[in-house]
Amino acid sequence: MNKLDKKLIRFKVENIDTLPTIPGALKKLLKVLENQKVSLNEIGSFISSDPVIATKVLKMVNSPIYGFPGRISSVSQAVILLGLNVIKGLLLGVSVFELMQRSMVGLWEHSMGCAIAARVIAKKKGLKEPEEVSIAGLLHDIGKVVLIMQFHEYYEHAMKKAEEDGIIISEAEKNVFAVTHADAGTWMTQKWRFPASLTDVIGYHHKPHLSKFAPVETAIVHVSDILVRARGFGFAGDNMVPVINSVAWESLNMTESDLKDVYKEIDDSIEDAGVLILE
């Protein structure tokens, strides 16, 4: 199977909203996100105008991912509490849920587990905005969704090669596409005008030492991704547990006791979140 042209891949990634298989709500959302000056009020109105999206957002906000179980009862309350960046990421998360479920069995569960782990570690490290780190954990693999949607046969081949060769999916992607899901995710979030910090996490969650705008957050999502893989929760495209990047690990300065505490909270939250199906 020949490698695809990188320019073609980027064009198709950035134009995922033209696919006939993309849900209408997601197409509308992507138009909203492309507006650099979109306000909290406009985002709130967008959510409130679609009862299905509003229900999904409230269900997600009240899940263990965000640490507000059962405390947020309205869209306006959620928007004010979480802020623009978190709400934009949350909206994207609930909107691609269907695509995640359809494209790779277990990807949503892996992403949700990573979001939970990232929030727990961020709180433990004293970050001011743990919800933003949680969003980054939820969306870190969003590039896989668009690669699968646009190049399904090629991605199936990449997953098969990952299994046969005993390599992680990003290495298999590189062999098949010449780019990885991290590249695809970066292109998507840049087009949709997400903060540089979120784009950085998505682009460098496998190479956290290269992060310029969000080194701590990228390190957290990197470690969370591997902890959730080791826990066996969900499926990220391969059955490997990569080695944790030493720079990221040292920057977080986590002790064995910290790790035990984080795993306990992850296990408890995952058990509670197991019923979180956004239908």
| Domain count along the chain | 1
Q: How far is CA 263 from CA 128, 226, 232, 233, 271, in A?
A: 21, 12, 12, 12, 12
**pLDDT tens track, the chain, 279 positions:** 777 889 999 999 998 877 777 777 777 888 887 787 888 888 889 888 888 888 888 888 887 777 676 688 888 888 888 888 888 888 888 878 777 877 788 998 899 889 989 998 999 899 998 988 999 999 999 999 999 989 999 999 999 999 999 999 999 999 999 999 999 999 988 888 888 999 999 999 999 999 999 999 999 999 999 999 998 889 999 999 999 999 999 999 998 888 888 888 778 776 665 545 555
Whether 218 is in a domain gets the answer yes
Q: How far is CA 32 from CA 58, 60, 233, 234, in A?
A: 19, 20, 33, 30
Between CA 164 and CA 258 the distance in angstroms is 35
Between CA 48 and CA 75 the distance in angstroms is 7
Question: 33: Cβ–Cβ under 8 A, 6 or more apart, which residues?
Answer: 88, 91, 92, 192, 193, 194
Query: What per-residue confidence (pLDDT) applies to 151?
Result: 94
Closest among 24, 217, 212, 56 to 128, alpha carbons compared: 217
Closest among 205, 177, 165, 167 to 189, alpha carbons compared: 205
Closest among 19, 189, 237 to 88, alpha carbons compared: 189
Whether 17 is in a domain gets the answer yes
Query: What per-residue confidence (pLDDT) applies to 275?
Result: 47
**Per-state percent for the chain, helix, strand, coil, to nearest 5:** 70, 0, 30
Whether 24 is in a domain gets the answer yes
CB 191 within 8 A of CB 223: no
Whether 121 is in a domain gets the answer yes
Q: CATH no. for residue 262?
A: 1.10.3210.10
Whether 249 is in a domain gets the answer yes
Whether 54 is in a domain gets the answer yes
Whether 157 is in a domain gets the answer yes
Whether 1 is in a domain gets the answer no
Closest among 266, 192, 189 to 36, alpha carbons compared: 192
Between CA 201 and CA 250 the distance in angstroms is 17
Between CA 224 and CA 128 the distance in angstroms is 18
Q: How far is CA 259 from CA 110, 200, 223, 252, 265, in A?
A: 19, 25, 11, 11, 10
Domain span at residue 153? Answer: 6-273
